[in-house]
């Protein structure tokens, strides 16, 4: 986004790794066409923590759109990525312990965009890989894994779904 008072001054909503959640400013000669380099993308980590409720999933979908657009995904791949992340969130919200958070992390890797979504669950088992939702995930993602780390004391765990998405994911 360009500052209207100073056309050579760009404001980015993507914070660098390790910074607080605030707007980061960059200076550049070009306004809208400057794409981040691969090294810049590999250094970025975008995280979102929000209540593990179905009503919150549209926020994750919106963030996914922004992250994959910045990573130069095509229109079909953007739609696929949003649908895959939406489905992963929906599966975890169903398993989430009441009052817990959904933790979403996006990091660009050399093999694609890595998305990790996790939440605390009273049922320490990963989502079933025999559901239609899991089929959707495997169809729309380059790779999908799910696991559960049981917490000390038993009875609860952190359930995680990890996706790898790339600009060529769509069929």
Tens of pLDDT, residues 93-149: 999 999 999 999 999 988 899 999 999 999 888 999 999 999 999 999 999 999 999
The answer on pLDDT for 58 being more than 80 is: yes
Q: Which CATH code is given to the segment(s) 38-165?
A: 3.30.565.10
pLDDT of residue 8: 47
How much of the chain exceeds pLDDT 90, in percent? 59
Contacts of 113 (CB under 8 A, 6+ apart): 67, 68, 71, 73, 81, 106, 107, 164, 165, 166
pTM to 2 decimal places: 0.74
CA 73, CA 50: separation in Å to the nearest integer? Answer: 25
The answer on pLDDT for 26 being more than 50 is: no
Q: What is the pLDDT of residues 27-53, one digit of tens each?
A: 344 445 566 666 766 678 999 999 999
Mean pLDDT, the chain, as a whole number? 81
Domain residue limits, the chain: 1-34, 38-165
pLDDT of residue 22: 34
């Amino acid at each position: 986004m360009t500052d209207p008072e100073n056309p050579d001054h760009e404001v980015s909503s993507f914070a660098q790794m390790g910074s607080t959640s605030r707007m980061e400013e960059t200076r550049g000669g070009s306004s809208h066409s400057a794409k981040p380099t691969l090294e810049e993308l590999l250094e970025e980590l975008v995280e979102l923590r929000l209540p593990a409720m179905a009503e919150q999933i549209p926020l994750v979908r919106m963030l996914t759109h922004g992250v994959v657009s910045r990573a130069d995904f095509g229109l079909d791949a953007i739609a696929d990525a949003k649908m895959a992340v939406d489905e992963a969130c929906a599966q975890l919200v169903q398993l989430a312990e009441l009052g817990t958070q959904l933790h979403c992390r996006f990091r660009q890797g050399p093999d694609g965009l890595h998305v990790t979504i996790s939440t605390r669950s009273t049922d320490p088992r990963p989502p079933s890989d025999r559901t239609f939702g899991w089929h959707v995930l495997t169809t729309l993602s380059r790779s999908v894994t799910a696991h559960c780390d049981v917490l000390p004391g038993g009875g609860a765990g952190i359930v995680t779904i990890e996706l790898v998405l790339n600009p060529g994911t769509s069929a």
